[in-house]
């Protein structure tokens, strides 16, 4: 039954501009509105007209835009129909904050409509398509019964999916104003009548720039709210190439620093200086650091050059972007931006970009524009803007993008920013898995060189290095073993930083082998005293730059757990410098190094007991998870955060199965494969085809992801034997040695040795891990070549041969009767979808044991499967001089047909 009493009782209409309203008459054509509401937390409000009122739901993350996407919808009090026209600022009190009329139109029921479900279609200015509202039942978090107010808003597949906008933009359909302009009381302009294509946040910015401003403050600035010196503009129509554009009438005298000049023929890019923290002052603009190729786009009377940082024209490499710029209704322009490949969540992905270029499938790439250096057109004739302050360049860029219809979608996209709030913006970027942020001084001029007017802060360890050599491959690995890499010091000398052999596909190994053979040299290009004694080393001219991820720097200036990300063709090798903040050498006689990583900080949030670890809010941090040891949720999260450098190399980017114990070990624990609605959207996921359809699996990329999963009650991490970028080809085998209760530990040791020898005879190297349970794992690194059926069949054949040799010690039979006094040799962990516990994962068992990689030399009578625990493992890791699994990636081999036959696999 419609009821407005709750609505009225919550408001003081003598202070609030909201309409008091009354119940309206039932109508055949029903309206809907969606408000964007910047209250204590920014959210959207869906309001559907029914029974003379607007039934209302708060959408914390907005409406889902992709088919199948589910977003929480919390039902709130009914609102009067008059509220459908409301836009403004609610003063202090209930719902205080800015309210925008984000979308409106008509809605209709298309299927089920009862107390628990509403199937409906929206026909609005922005949203057109089918959704379902479904009431959630049962118990929520903490075991509390749902109060009936929690619903899910689910986007359905339909013929109008293409009409749904790419992101939730920041423009009112009623007044054409942004949130900041509504808050400032700016007069409305002509309303929006169709789908939005005005300048605003890109999908990446929508999930990061805008989100950061939401979470940190209501005062995040958009380009239109920056204090520009440009005069007010009038709109007129201009047709160029059949397109209509609004002409911006600008008095050049009002753009302080602008001057008439020719379009620069060979512009140089402004570069950012790497820093550890974003500046805290308010006079800085903060943008997303995109993970792509920096491009200066030069438009000269319909001809486009796409210039890299070292001056190469990549127009032919990005033809679709070039054509899109050529079609702009401008005479001449010089844009600065970055070409990126965007994931579905709007985050740029350099590996996808490299793949698109390699496959020559560049139609889906995007040019994120963040600066304007020259403009001739739209009322501004041939003006160079390098001496115009950034705040005014960004304001003019926003107006220009608005006029030529560059907005949130398409190949060309405007890049928004946040003003001030650097620390909060950085934390939000880290939380969402972005590469980092770029901070720019708002009053700075554009200078085509590196200076401290532009600063970059990265959320993960990633850098570019110069290739100076390579090692021979081992075993059956093709191409090369590892690339030998370094960076230049201040004296122009190439300093050795380590070797990287992980992250290469088979095609890349062959391609690099051919490329390296073209530029051999007899002597090492590195500083001689830096080079370790590496057998089979070859030297090359240092002219190639690669992008590398790594976990940390060692004290002797080497990379730990490096992984190849891609070739940087846009970098000059001599520009690749050792980061001075990481170099701790008092004189050139000492090696470049970085101090040992310090303990990660844990910050307690004010006003409550929650803490923040790796930027993740941890609720109930003092909840005891392991009763006997008194291990709390906070202690578990700190363990995963502080030791992520050990954990992530073997766990990152693999589909996960989680063991969750929200109330603690010993209470109810459960296994979870697919993400639930309560899990944060910042966690990455991959869709995997299964018998029942395609289902999402979570995976982790960084320490913050591990902490986020601990926040959800995760204790154990179990993972697939393949990576998310090559799901159908496993890159490791796991053999699980599970002893019966009456089996002697020495038998486990003997079986491990026998299995190791059997694998060695087949040319495979096995690495050893205690499971934290009763037995051991032997893990064999593979090149991702064979399919799942082959891998599982091979593992079974090897186990059968071992069991046939030692029937008194081994069995492949799972029954308790057959396993008495024997070791069960489990090969089933090598099937598609099967998992094994991750290295360094805590186990949900008494004593908090940890699955721990060990050296073969450590295996003996004194060692036990639960030898290492959350209490003593950190001491072990701190004392290790070498990784027990050092060289894991270097000894990968293929499961060839010959090897499979020798292992006993027929066919």
User: Domain of 553: which CATH number?
Assistant: 2.40.50.140
Strand pairing class (412-414; 366-377): parallel
Domain match, 522 and 657 both: no
Residue 829 lies in a domain: yes
The percentage of the chain sitting over the pLDDT mark of 70, rounded to a whole number, equals 84
Inter-residue contact 339 to 353 (CB < 8 Å): yes
Residue 584 lies in a domain: no
Q: Could you say which of 154, 183, 212 is where a domain stops?
A: 183
Considering only CA atoms, which of 599, 641, 629 is closest in space to residue 878? 599
**What digits encode the pLDDT tens for the residues 193-252?**
333 233 333 323 333 333 333 333 333 333 223 333 333 332 333 333 333 455 556 666
Considering only CA atoms, which of 20, 23, 21, 18 is closest in space to residue 2? 23
Residue 450 lies in a domain: yes
How far apart (Å, rounded) are the C-alpha atoms in residues 531 and 524?
Answer: 9
Residue 583 lies in a domain: no
User: Does the active-site annotation cover 289?
Assistant: yes
Inter-residue contact 423 to 402 (CB < 8 Å): no
pLDDT band (50, 70, 90) for residue 870:
very high
Lowest mean pLDDT among 365-369, 532-536, 670-674, 771-775: 532-536
Domain match, 700 and 759 both: no
Rg (CA), the chain: 30
**What digits encode the pLDDT tens for the residues 388-417?**
999 999 999 998 998 888 876 788 999 999
Task: Record the tokens describing residue 87, joined without a space.
Answer: 């836009």
Residue 595 lies in a domain: no
Domain match, 440 and 325 both: yes
CATH of the domain at 248: 3.30.470.30
3-state secondary structure of 646: helix
Domain match, 611 and 476 both: no
Lowest mean pLDDT among 73-82, 315-324, 339-348, 662-671: 339-348
* 204 vs 146, higher pLDDT: 146
Domain match, 857 and 741 both: yes
Residue 854 has a pLDDT of 95
**What digits encode the pLDDT tens for the residues 451-497?**
889 999 887 777 899 999 998 887 667 788 889 999 998 788 899 99
| Count of beta carbons in the 10 Å neighbourhood of residue 174 | 20
Residue 894 lies in a domain: yes
How far apart (Å, rounded) are the C-alpha atoms in residues 733 and 435?
Answer: 32
Counting Cβ atoms within 10 Å, is residue 907 exposed (0-12), middle (13-18) or buried (19+)?
Answer: exposed
Domain match, 563 and 631 both: no
3-state secondary structure of 250: coil
Residue 74 lies in a domain: yes
| Count of beta carbons in the 10 Å neighbourhood of residue 474 | 17
Residue 561 has a pLDDT of 73
With b for 16 or more beta-carbon neighbours within 10 A and e for fewer, the 119-146 pattern comes to bbbbebbbbbbbbbbbbbeeeeeeeeee
Domain match, 841 and 885 both: yes
Task: Record the tokens describing residue 410, joined without a space.
Answer: 């398409």
Residue 533 has a pLDDT of 67
Domain match, 212 and 333 both: yes
pLDDT at 191 over 50: no
CATH of the domain at 741: 3.90.920.10
Counting Cβ atoms within 10 Å, is residue 506 exposed (0-12), middle (13-18) or buried (19+)?
Answer: middle
pLDDT at 592 over 90: no
CA 634 to chain centre: 24
Domain match, 750 and 851 both: yes
Q: What is the pTM of this model?
A: 0.43
Chain mean pLDDT for the chain: 82
Residue 164 has a pLDDT of 54
pLDDT at 54 over 90: yes
Domain match, 852 and 898 both: yes
Q: Residues 546-575: what's their mean pLDDT?
A: 81
Cα dihedral sign, 321-325-326-328? positive
Residue 65 lies in a domain: yes
Domain match, 857 and 798 both: yes
Residue 636 has a pLDDT of 95
- Provide the domain limits for residue 862: 732-902
Q: Could you say which of 150, 183, 216 is where a domain stops?
A: 183
Q: Which residue has 């001449």 as its token pair?
A: 332
**Long-range CB contacts for residues 616-625, cutoff 8 Å, separation at least 24:** 616/431, 616/704, 616/707, 616/708, 616/711, 617/711, 618/707, 618/710, 618/711, 619/711, 623/663, 623/664, 624/664, 625/661, 625/664, 625/665, 625/715
Residue 853 has a pLDDT of 96
In total, how many domains does the chain have? Answer: 5
Question: Which position among 36, 126, 155, 289 bears the catalytic label?
Answer: 289
Counting Cβ atoms within 10 Å, is residue 77 exposed (0-12), middle (13-18) or buried (19+)?
Answer: middle
Q: Could you say which of 397, 423, 458 is where a domain stops?
A: 458
How far apart (Å, rounded) are the C-alpha atoms in residues 283 and 296?
Answer: 25
Phi-psi bin for 201: left (phi > 0), alpha (psi -120 to 50), beta? beta
Domain match, 487 and 451 both: no
Q: Which of 38-42, 407-411, 724-728 has the highest mean pLDDT?
A: 724-728
pLDDT band (50, 70, 90) for residue 579:
low
């Amino acid at each position: 039954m419609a009821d407005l009493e709750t609505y009225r009782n919550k408001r003081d209409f003598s202070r609030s501009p909201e309409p008091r309203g009354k119940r309206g008459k039932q109508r055949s054509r029903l309206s809907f509105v969606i408000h964007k509401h910047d209250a204590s937390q920014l959210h959207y409000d869906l309001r559907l007209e029914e029974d003379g009122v607007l039934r209302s739901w708060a959408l914390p993350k907005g409406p889902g835009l992709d088919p199948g996407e589910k977003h929480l919808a919390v039902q709130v009090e009914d609102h009067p129909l008059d509220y459908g026209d409301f836009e403004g600022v609610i003063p202090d009190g209930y719902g205080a904050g800015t309210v925008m009329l984000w979308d409106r139109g008509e809605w209709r029921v298309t299927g089920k409509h009862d107390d628990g479900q509403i199937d409906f279609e929206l026909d609005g200015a922005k949203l057109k398509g089918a959704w379902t509202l479904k009431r959630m039942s049962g118990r929520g978090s903490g075991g509390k019964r749902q109060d009936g107010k929690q619903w899910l808003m689910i986007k359905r597949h339909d013929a109008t999916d293409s009409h749904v906008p790419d992101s939730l933009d920041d423009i009112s359909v009623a007044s054409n104003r942004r949130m900041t302009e509504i808050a400032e009381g700016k007069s409305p302009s002509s309303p929006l009548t169709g789908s939005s294509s005005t300048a605003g946040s890109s999908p990446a910015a929508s999930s990061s720039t805008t989100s950061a401003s939401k979470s940190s403050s209501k005062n995040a600035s958009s380009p239109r709210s920056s204090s520009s010196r440009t005069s007010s503009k009038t709109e007129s129509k201009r047709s160029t190439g059949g397109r209509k554009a609004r002409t911006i009438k600008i008095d050049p005298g009002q753009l302080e620093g602008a001057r008439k000049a020719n379009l620069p023929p060979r512009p140089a890019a402004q570069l950012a200086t790497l820093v550890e923290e974003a500046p805290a002052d308010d006079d800085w603009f903060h943008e997303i650091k995109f993970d792509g190729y920096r491009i200066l786009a030069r438009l000269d009377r319909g001809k486009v050059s796409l210039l890299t940082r070292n001056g190469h024209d990549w127009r032919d490499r990005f033809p679709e972007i070039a054509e899109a710029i050529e079609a702009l209704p401008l005479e001449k322009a010089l844009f600065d931006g970055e070409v990126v490949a965007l994931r579905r969540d709007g985050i740029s992905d350099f590996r996808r970009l490299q793949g698109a270029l390699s496959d020559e499938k560049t139609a889906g790439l995007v040019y994120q524009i963040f600066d304007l250096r020259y403009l001739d057109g739209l009322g501004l004739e041939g003006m160079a803007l390098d001496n115009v302050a950034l705040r005014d360049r960004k304001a003019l860029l926003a107006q220009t993008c608005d006029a030529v219809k560059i907005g949130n979608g398409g190949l060309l996209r405007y890049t928004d920013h946040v003003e001030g709030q650097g620390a909060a913006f950085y934390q939000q970027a880290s939380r969402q898995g972005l590469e980092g942020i770029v901070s720019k001084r708002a009053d700075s001029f554009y200078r085509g060189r590196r200076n401290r007017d532009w600063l970059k802060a990265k959320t993960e360890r990633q850098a570019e290095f110069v290739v100076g050599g390579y090692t021979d491959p081992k075993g059956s690995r093709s191409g090369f073993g590892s690339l030998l890499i370094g960076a230049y010091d201040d004296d122009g000398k190439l300093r050795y930083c380590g070797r990287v052999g992980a992250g290469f596909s088979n095609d890349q190994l062959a391609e690099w082998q051919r490329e390296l053979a073209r530029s051999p040299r007899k002597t090492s290009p590195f500083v001689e005293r830096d080079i370790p004694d590496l057998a089979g080393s070859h030297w090359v001219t240092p002219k190639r730059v690669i992008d590398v991820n790594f976990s940390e720097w060692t004290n002797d200036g080497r990379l730990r757990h490096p992984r190849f990300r891609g070739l940087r063709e846009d970098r000059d090798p001599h520009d690749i410098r050792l980061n001075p903040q990481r170099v701790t050498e008092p004189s050139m006689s000492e090696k470049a190094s970085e101090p040992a990583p310090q303990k990660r900080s844990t910050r307690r949030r004010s006003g409550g007991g929650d803490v923040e670890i790796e930027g993740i809010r941890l609720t109930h941090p003092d909840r005891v998870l392991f009763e006997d040891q008194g291990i709390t949720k906070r202690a578990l999260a700190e363990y995963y955060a502080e030791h992520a450098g050990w954990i992530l190399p073997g766990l990152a980017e693999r589909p996960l199965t989680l063991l969750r114990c929200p109330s603690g070990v010993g209470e109810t624990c459960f296994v979870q494969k697919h993400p639930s609605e309560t899990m944060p959207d910042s966690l990455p996921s991959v869709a995997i085809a299964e018998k029942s359809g395609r289902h999402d699996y979570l995976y982790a990329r960084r320490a913050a992801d591990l902490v986020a999963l601990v926040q959800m009650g995760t204790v154990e991490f179990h993972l697939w034997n393949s990576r998310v970028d090559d799901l159908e080809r496993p890159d490791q085998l796991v053999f699980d040695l599970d002893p019966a209760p009456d089996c002697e530990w020495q038998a486990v040791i003997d079986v491990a040795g026998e299995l190791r020898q059997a694998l060695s005879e087949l040319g495979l190297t096995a690495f050893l891990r205690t499971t934290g349970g009763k037995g051991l794992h032997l893990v064999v690194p593979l090149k991702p070549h064979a399919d799942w059926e082959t891998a599982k069949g091979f593992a079974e054949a090897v186990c059968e041969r071992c069991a046939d040799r030692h029937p008194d010690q081994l069995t492949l039979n799972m029954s308790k009767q057959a396993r008495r006094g024997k070791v069960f040799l489990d090969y089933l962990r090598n099937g598609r979808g099967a998992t094994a516990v991750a290295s360094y994962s805590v186990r949900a068992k008494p004593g908090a044991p940890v699955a721990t990689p060990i050296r073969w030399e450590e295996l003996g009578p004194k060692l036990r499967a639960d030898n290492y625990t959350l209490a003593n493992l950190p001491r072990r890791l701190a004392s290790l001089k070498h990784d027990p699994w050092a060289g894991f990636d270097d000894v990968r081999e293929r499961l060839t047909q010959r090897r499979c036959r020798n292992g006993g696999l027929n066919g």
